Amino acid sequence: MRRASFLPLLATLTACAAAETPLAPTPARDAQVDTGPRDTGVRDTGTRDVVDAAVDRAAPMDVASDDVPADAPVDTAAPIDAGVTDTGPSPDRPDVWIFDAGVTDTGPADTGARDVPPVMLGDAYEPPRDGFDTTVRDTDLTVGTTPTNPAGRFGGTEDSTRAPSIVYPAEGVVMPPNLTGFEVHFLAGTGNDLFEVGFAGDRGTLRMYTACNAVGGGCALSLDERAYGELARVAQPSGRVVLTIRGTSASAAGRFGRSASRTISITGTDVRGGLYYWNAGGSILRFEFGRAGARPENFLRGDPINCLGCHVLSRDGSRTMVGRFIPGPAISRVFDVPTRTPLSAEYGANFGTFSPDNTRLLTSDGARMALLNGATFATTTGLPADNRGSMPDWSRNGRMVVFSRQRNGIALLGQPGHNAPGDLLLMQWNGSAFTTPTTLVNAASNENNYYPSFAPDDQWIVFNRSGGSSYNAIDAHLWAVRASGGSPVRLAAADATGDVGNSWPKFAPFIHTWQGEPLLWVTFSSRRDYGLRLQQQSRAVESRTAQLWMAALRPNRTGDPSAAAFWLPFQDLNSGNHIGQWAQEVQRMGCRSDADCNLQERCLPVGVTSAVYGCVPR
């Protein structure tokens, strides 16, 4: 009876919140480094000729040559499958495993003509023109309804009593150049209803003139693709931008107030890859970075009772392990990502990680780990006799796994977390078996270290630390440690101040180079405020909404290598978002026409040329 009364509560509020196992990497020699020029965005947008050979053997997704893993395995006996898969027979979709994409269109075959422009990958930023051109670039843009000649209304006397105040973004934030939807939040200041939001960079200044779009007791300015692209341009080559806001009265110009300035930075290379995350409504959503016009997609849909939440992606994005219902343990299953077809029977697991070549799947029910064959998903040998552990992550080079273990006793079977003290351990993989684990981070008696995740170069591990249970901990903070050992460092700039539940940190799959040093991106969920749009610190902890945030990490720096974090603009603020899991690319179902796709999708280019087609959201 006690368990029966407990089920609805967990199912509706927290069903699969614990399944954070990160991406599984690809077998490696060296780290995957993005050092090339950014995508020019140029694509063949003409009418498509149907090319049968290109439908299910696509060219790679839109990634520069430097983004392709140098060590990616090559099968010389068969064509390379780069992501768009033959549609095959209709997938078997049990009642719980629902892809909410409508009924398939079985109408007449597509003749090849397109009634909408094909999807363009990349954005308008062109390195040959913008990366090396030092021509001054001053741009004025107006947003919404403003009086004529708004710039001319700021020529009066500065009045400090009218100064606006910047609320968001934070000082020192570092952002990528493909963050359409980025917002500036500010308090208006006394007597102001017309504003100049200025971004001064190396090449010039972007000035945006706007009235107050009222949000949370202040104002918000959203930058669309054109505006953010202009911001990325004026920032180069250093990337440094000084943000300042001036305010005045549209009807009684003559005096204006000026805010204190904040320094932000825009890097020179797009974030790329697919981010899959659990929406608290019970579904798995995904967002494809690097595709123009991208928006969240419903990947697998559950419901408040049969919640889909626990999930992990293979590094190449071809497979996913997804759990449903209460993580006690969750009822999990492996799926083929392009077709959403089940590949395995159901089994109990809260956490998992794929080996780089997808030949093994290491799972945990929250207490003990199990090693599964990647083809049959039957339990196989290779784990040490002491298999206690949780939250495993397989390194990209395939040589080691990091995991968390409750030091005293064993976590209760099927629990979504464990108690302090919790240590981080490493075990080496020799190709057929793991060695005896060694301690990487030894916890103090009141410390719990958990949710570890390898960086794409396998040199760093990011993780959480809290003082009690790892489950839904509001005092969870962001830490990192070298995989070779040493003292952990708190990622204080990304962490922000106070206890705001910064949890489930995961590295994006590529290494970038910026200002002559490597740069990594890390995502995590947080119950912090988002500027003026989400102000929730006065709420009870359990009522605060978790959202996905991202921060830059420059691993070569001494001390704290992180920068202030920014909110990911594609999210629904009305629903909690958790467990961001990355894949190198979004692998899609191949198609010849819209009839091959669900009604909420259509057949459009997904590769470097218009000959490669896949199902994308309408």
When pLDDT is cut at 50, 70 and 90, the band that residue 97 belongs to is: very low
Share of the chain above pLDDT 70, in %: 76
When pLDDT is cut at 50, 70 and 90, the band that residue 49 belongs to is: very low
Among 51-60, 432-441, 450-459, 479-488, the least confident range: 51-60
449 within 8 A of 441, measured Cβ to Cβ: yes
* Residues 175-207 pLDDT 10s: 999 998 999 999 999 999 999 999 999 999 999
The CATH architecture assigned to 2-32+270-512+575-583 reads: 6 Propeller (2.120)
Report CA 467 to chain centroid distance, whole Å.
26
Higher pLDDT, residue 451 or 111? 451
* Residues 132-143 pLDDT 10s: 566 788 999 999
pLDDT at 541 over 90: no
* Residues 494-524 pLDDT 10s: 998 889 999 999 999 999 989 889 999 999 9
**Average pLDDT value for residue range 44-48:** 30
Sign of CA dihedral 21, 27, 31, 33: negative
Q: Specify the amino acid at residue 206.
A: L
Q: Kindly report the average pLDDT of the chain as a whole number.
A: 79
Q: How would you classify the pairing of strands 517-526 and 613-617?
A: unpaired
- The 3-state DSSP class for residue 232 equals helix
* Residues 212-249 pLDDT 10s: 999 999 999 999 989 999 999 999 889 999 999 999 99
- The pTM of this model reads 0.80
**Average pLDDT value for residue range 72-85:** 32
Residue 13 confidence (pLDDT): 36
pLDDT at 126 over 50: no
CATH class of 127-266: mainly beta
Higher pLDDT, residue 429 or 304? 429
209 within 8 A of 196, measured Cβ to Cβ: yes
* Residues 244-293 pLDDT 10s: 999 999 988 789 999 999 999 999 889 999 999 998 888 899 999 988 77
- Angle value at C-alpha 395, between 323 and 457, nearest 5 degrees: 125
Residue 542 confidence (pLDDT): 83
pLDDT at 480 over 90: yes
**Average pLDDT value for residue range 573-589:** 91
* Element (DSSP H or E) covering residue 7: helix 2-13
Angstrom CA distances, 609 to 59, 61, 62, 423, 590, stand at 8, 10, 10, 48, 14
- The 3-state DSSP class for residue 226 equals helix
pLDDT at 28 over 90: no
Q: Where in the chain is the domain with CATH 2.60.40.2470?
A: 127-266
Q: Where in the chain is the domain with CATH 2.120.10.30?
A: 2-32+270-512+575-583
Q: Which runs of consecutive H residues, i.e. helices, occur in 351-427?
A: none
pLDDT at 63 over 70: no
Q: Cα(532)–Cα(206) distance, rounded to whole angstroms?
A: 23
Residue 292 confidence (pLDDT): 75
Residue 228 confidence (pLDDT): 94
Tokens of 514: 């910026």
Cα Rg for the chain, rounded, in angstroms? 25
Share of the chain above pLDDT 90, in %: 57
Among 172-186, 256-270, 477-491, 598-612, the least confident range: 598-612
Residue 36 confidence (pLDDT): 38
* Residues 336-392 pLDDT 10s: 999 999 999 999 999 999 999 999 999 999 889 999 999 999 999 999 999 999 999
* Residues 140-171 pLDDT 10s: 999 988 888 999 999 889 999 999 999 999 99
Question: Tokens 């250093």 appear where?
Answer: 238
Higher pLDDT, residue 366 or 115? 366
Residue 310 confidence (pLDDT): 80
